Homo-oligomer: A and B are copies of this chain.
Amino acid sequence: MKFLQKFDLKFRGLRNKGKSPLLRKLDLMHESSLKQTVKRNYSDYISRLEAEYEARNHRPKYLPRSTSEKFKYNGSFHEAVGKVFLVAQFFAMMPVKGISGPLPSELSFAWRNWRTLYCLLFILSTLTSIGFTSYKVFNGLITFNNIEPLIFRGCILLVCVNALMLAKKWPALMMYWYEVEQDLPQYQTQVEKSRMAYTIHMVMFVGMMLSLAEHLLSMISAISYSNYCHRTDDPIRNFLTTINDEIFYVFNYSVPLAMWGKIQNVYSTFIWNYMDIFVMIISVGLAANFRQLNDNLLKFKGMHMPPTYWSERRIQYRNLCTVCEKLDNAISLITMVSFSNNLYFICVQLLRSLNTMPTVTHAVYFYFSLMFLIGRTLAVSLYSASVNDESRRTLRYLRCVPKESWCPEVKRFTEEVNSDFVALTGMKFFNLTRKLVLSVAGTIVTYELVLIQFHEDTDLWDCDQSVYA
């Protein structure tokens, strides 16, 4: 035993040989302070672990189980989006069973389920609607402006079909995500756990309210327009003819057809807004998970942690990357449609903004609609960019790992975070980051300038043609 102590001493002696007394003293001081830090950090870590363990086992017992369960969040994404997807199901999206259940294991998809049939019915209805629109568009002049209803309905169809495909994969996807989430370092308080759900509900609520307001304004504007042009004496008939002009371009006026057209229109408008909200919600979920990991790293920032700690975090980070990639593969078509659709509509609206508005109602509707469109596009961009931002933030904490705690695991973790690029993409053609916002803005300005070139003040509010998206 003694031999080894001597060996140790000898070894230290060898190491210190080349140093001046001043430096050696500094080293000693440094070493002793280091030891204390290590000890403090270790015990700190252990006591925290124990506290956490306690906290998990000794939950408050005075509440009756049903109540406590009801208000308790497990903080999973599946749980958070339950209600949002229930609303979506009402509008023929996301035909998956068990969407509001507490666990993703209850999720299931079947072709013979009424949800799926409902969804297929709506796709059929959209196809018919596209048929009418194409007929009208191809019989007229094809311009950047006139093909707008066709592009609108085409995007709706694309998203619907893709949502059906997605629904098939959804149960497996959610199971995987749920497992990864459960493996993450858990938040201690209910407030922290419910944060993601709160953000998601707010995004859905605000988005839907604005979309509703925009739709109502659009109806008011259409009513005033149809009365101004009034072809018949029946104001309701005028209104319904106006908004379904592609149907009554083919058939004579009939109430059931008009009703179907209106319902189709409401559903389409919902889905048009919903696809943006959907991308936002997924982004919020992913970013929240990365934040959960980062918050844990922040808690132990600058402390001396054992290699196993870093190894665990690295694997959790890796899992989140995999979740992000799987989700991206599943939804990237929707993302692509959402972005290009918004880009196209902003350009069309800006082009129209050059014309003079016939009435104040139109002006109010038009500018509200344009602002909503730009705001929504910006929101989608920034929310989806936040996934990338959060995933990069991990690096900040890794930079502060103290010298003594620097081990191969930390090194590997750092290199992986550094070289991986975690972000949602538009079919891998472009990444959704903050830089994209600038490019999109630049593109819009450039296109606008080019569009202005063509511009001659044509009377888009002519009674013989109407443009309502």
Residues of chain B within 8 A (CB-CB) of A26 are 308
Given A4-B10, A42-B20, A450-B449, A30 contacting B308 (CB threshold 8 A): yes
| B4, A20: Cβ atoms closer than 8 Å | no
Is A112 part of the contact surface with B, judged by Cβ < 8 Å?
A: no
Given A20-B42, A399-B318, A429 contacting B419 (CB threshold 8 A): no
Q: How far is the CA of A38 from the CA of B318 in the complex (A)?
A: 21
In A179-223, the 8 Å CB interface with B consists of none
Is A255 part of the contact surface with B, judged by Cβ < 8 Å?
A: no
B18, B23, B38, B409: the one within 8 Å of A38 (CB): B18
A341–chain B nearest beta-carbon distance, Å = 15
| A311, B403: Cβ atoms closer than 8 Å | yes
> Which B residue's beta carbon lies closest to that of A441?
B429
Given A308-B26, A399-B318, A406-B412, A428 contacting B419 (CB threshold 8 A): no
A32–chain B nearest beta-carbon distance, Å = 14
Interface-facing stretch out of A258-266, A291-299, A431-439? A431-439
In A437-466, the 8 Å CB interface with B consists of 437-438, 442-443, 447, 449-450, 452-454
B4, B321, B449: the one within 8 Å of A7 (CB): B4
| B419, A430: Cβ atoms closer than 8 Å | no
| A408, B409: Cβ atoms closer than 8 Å | no
> Which B residue's beta carbon lies closest to that of A445?
B447
Q: How far is the CA of A400 from the CA of B453 in the complex (A)?
A: 54
Residues of chain B within 8 A (CB-CB) of A10 are 1, 4
Q: How far is the CA of A282 from the CA of B49 in the complex (A)?
A: 43
In A306-348, the 8 Å CB interface with B consists of 306, 308, 311, 318, 321
Is A61 part of the contact surface with B, judged by Cβ < 8 Å?
A: no
* Copies per assembly: 4
Is A106 part of the contact surface with B, judged by Cβ < 8 Å?
A: no
Residues of chain B within 8 A (CB-CB) of A52 are none
> Which B residue's beta carbon lies closest to that of A53?
B22
Residues of chain B within 8 A (CB-CB) of A447 are 449
Q: Chain A binding site: helix, strand, loop or mixed by DSSP?
A: helix
Is A418 part of the contact surface with B, judged by Cβ < 8 Å?
A: yes
| B418, A429: Cβ atoms closer than 8 Å | no
> Which B residue's beta carbon lies closest to that of A437?
B429
Q: Mark A33-48, 1 if CB is under 8 A from B, else 0.
A: 0000011001100100
Q: How far is the CA of A452 from the CA of B455 in the complex (A)?
A: 13
| A400, B7: Cβ atoms closer than 8 Å | no
> Which B residue's beta carbon lies closest to that of A4?
B10
Given A23-B306, A308-B30, A453-B453, A409 contacting B399 (CB threshold 8 A): no
Residues of chain B within 8 A (CB-CB) of A22 are 46, 49
Residues of chain B within 8 A (CB-CB) of A19 are 42, 306
Q: How far is the CA of A17 from the CA of B443 in the complex (A)?
A: 62
Q: How far is the CA of A369 from the CA of B429 in the complex (A)?
A: 25
Q: How far is the CA of A400 from the CA of B311 in the complex (A)?
A: 12
Q: Mark A402-422, 1 if CB is under 8 A from B, else 0.
A: 010010110110111011100
Residues of chain B within 8 A (CB-CB) of A311 are 403
> Which B residue's beta carbon lies closest to that of A414?
B415
* Sampled A-B contacts (22; CB under 8 Å): A1-B6, A1-B10, A18-B39, A19-B306, A20-B42, A20-B43, A20-B46, A22-B46, A23-B308, A26-B308, A27-B308, A318-B399, A389-B428, A399-B416, A406-B408, A406-B412, A414-B415, A415-B415, A418-B419, A428-B434, A429-B438, A442-B443
The 5 closest A-B pairs by CB, nearest first: A429-B438, A418-B419, A449-B450, A428-B434, A20-B46
